[in-house]
Amino acid sequence: MKNTPKILVLFLVALVMSSCFKKLKDDLTPSGSATLIANGTNVSLGIPTAITLLGVVTIEANKDKSGYTILLNKSDIKEGKTYDLKSSTGVFTFQHDGTFYSPSTGTLKITKFTDNKVVEGKFSFEGNAVGITSKKMTANGTFSVNIIL
């Protein structure tokens, strides 16, 4: 009988700890969706990720040598804001079939931003392969992703 309170306390501590670890695991598991249409072809992408580190939000959606990476200053992200992909302060990297493309025209619009929780947007651009100006790409896509860090 003397050990009953100790066992009860240990049980309660274990229960609280397991629920905290489950919440942490859920918070660190990427979730969301991403689309990419490159030169008229739907490209299958994996689950996108978004993290915030040193004031920069990094959004990535990549699979099998195709996808995109977007880096934006967190303080600059506003719901409804449109970025010019050619001259914006953000960094935009697009890849299709292992070739990287640089936008010559295009926009990225943030459609939803909840501080350090969710970022959603859409983009479209035309560009050339890096180092091969004769190789062109027209692409558009969307992302909706929970920020995990």
- Predicted confidence (pLDDT) per residue in 68-96, tens digit: 999 888 888 899 999 988 866 668 889 99
Tokens of 145: 């992703």
74 with 57: CB under 8 angstroms? yes
pLDDT for 7 equals: 66
- What percent of the chain has pLDDT above 90? 40
DSSP 98-115: TEEEEEEEEEEEEEEEET
Provide mean pLDDT across the span 35-55: 90
* Residue 128 · residue 101 · CB < 8 Å: yes
Whether pTM exceeds 0.85: no
**DSSP sequence for 2-45:** TTHHHHHHHHHHHHHHHHHHHHHHHHHS--EEEEEEETTEEE--
Task: Pick 11 or 148 by higher pLDDT.
Answer: 148
**Confidence at residue 66, expressed as pLDDT on a 0 to 100 scale:** 92
Model pLDDT, residue 141: 94
